[in-house]
């Protein structure tokens, strides 16, 4: 079962003042400039009849988002998008008056390239002042991979140096952010809770298909059984607690409000 860790406030101060757009707001930062649906063929255990019944044969509505959270003068990112030539993360931050140097903390859900690519440019750290938080189980799993599979992760580790902080889900995190182990998609896939909000990473790649069919997995999921269980557990948890869930691949409006179902 998925660990639901209720964590205390870390000792790191969140009282220093920087630019703030709107206190406590979760802001979606869609990284792709255009709509890119998920091909139905990526969901290998979904039946053709279900896909047709849901009307998603031509593709499942999807997105690729990072999220910005602003609290007590701190600028906090969750993931960083692809970091490719047409990535929109930095332009969207700039539109809010935020430079990469203004970002204080970055929390990574997992280490797939579409979630950490925006951390680096030409091998250097894009966010030169930010502390980078990564679940230790996720980090160690990637460090143990063959070099041809983890080159991007190794570059990230070198670029962020002592500003990279590996944590366990039982540990406290800055600014009252809590971590939830939602393993399966990757070995250390991590969800973050902020009050009544969840940053759910890749808990679902195709919401239209998976929200009512939690056993359906995307080809990207490393451990299909564990991934399906984490998805089921997190959705049930969100319904029970009346939470708002933000997912990195959720289509507009990029969240699901489970408050009305509580």
CA distance 231 to 203: 6
Query: What percent of the chain clears pLDDT 70, i.e. is strictly above it?
Result: 90
Per-residue pLDDT averaged across 173-188, rounded?
A: 97
Give domain status of residue 8, yes or no: no
Helix (H/G/I), strand (E/B), else coil: 51: helix
Instruction: Tell me: pLDDT of 212 over 60.
Output: yes
Alpha carbon of 144 to those of 28, 151, 232: distances in Å?
32, 12, 29
Return mean pLDDT, the chain. Answer: 91
Give domain status of residue 2, yes or no: no
The partner residues of 165 in beta bridges, in order of sequence, read: 133
Give domain status of residue 72, yes or no: yes
Give domain status of residue 204, yes or no: yes
Give domain status of residue 225, yes or no: yes
Asked whether the whole model's pTM tops 0.85, one would answer: yes
The distance of Cα 121 from the centroid of its chain, to the nearest Å, equals: 20
pLDDT in the model for residue 63: 97
Number of domains within the chain: 1
Per-residue pLDDT averaged across 176-202, rounded?
A: 97
Give domain status of residue 173, yes or no: yes
User: Which two structure tokens, joined as six digits, stand for 180?
Assistant: 């939830």
DSSP string of 187-256? TT-EEEEETTEEE-TTS-S-HHHHSS-TT---TT-SSHHHHHHHHHHHHHHHHHHT-EEE-TTPPTT-EE
Give domain status of residue 107, yes or no: yes
153 burial level (CB within 10 Å; 0-12, 13-18, 19+)? buried
Instruction: Tell me: pLDDT of 16 over 60.
Output: no
Query: What percent of the chain clears pLDDT 90, i.e. is strictly above it?
Result: 87
Per-residue pLDDT averaged across 9-13, rounded?
A: 34
CA distance 90 to 206: 25
The residue range of the domain holding 136 is 23-261
Alpha helices in 45-88 (DSSP H): 48-53
Alpha carbon of 119 to those of 28, 36, 60, 96, 161: distances in Å?
17, 22, 28, 19, 13
Give the CATH number for residue 28.
3.60.15.10
């Amino acid at each position: 079962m998925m660990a639901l860790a209720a964590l205390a406030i870390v000792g790191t101060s969140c009282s220093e003042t920087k630019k703030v757009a709107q206190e406590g707001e979760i802001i979606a930062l869609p990284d792709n400039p255009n709509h890119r649906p998920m091909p139905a063929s990526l969901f290998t255990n979904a039946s053709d009849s279900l896909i047709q019944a849901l009307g998603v044969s031509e593709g499942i509505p999807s997105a690729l988002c990072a999220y910005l959270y602003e609290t007590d003068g701190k600028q906090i990112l969750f993931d960083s998008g692809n970091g490719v030539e047409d990535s929109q993360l930095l332009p969207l931050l700039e539109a809010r008056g935020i430079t990469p140097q203004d970002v204080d903390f970055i929390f990574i859900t997992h280490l797939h390239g579409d979630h950490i690519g925006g951390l680096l440019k030409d091998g250097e750290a894009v966010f030169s002042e930010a502390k980078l938080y990564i679940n230790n189980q996720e980090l160690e799993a990637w460090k143990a991979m063959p070099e041809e599979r983890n080159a991007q992760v190794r570059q990230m580790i070198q670029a962020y140096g002592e500003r990279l902080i590996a944590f366990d889900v039982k540990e406290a995190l800055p600014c009252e952010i809590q971590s939830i182990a939602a393993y399966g998609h990757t070995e250390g896939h991590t969800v973050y809770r902020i009050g009544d909000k969840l940053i759910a990473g890749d808990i679902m790649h195709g919401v239209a298909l998976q929200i009512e069919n939690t056993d359906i997995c995307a080809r990207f999921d490393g451990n299909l059984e564990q991934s399906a269980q984490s998805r089921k557990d997190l959705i049930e948890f969100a319904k029970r607690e009346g939470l708002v869930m933000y997912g990195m691949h959720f289509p507009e409006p990029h969240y699901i409000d489970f408050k009305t179902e509580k």
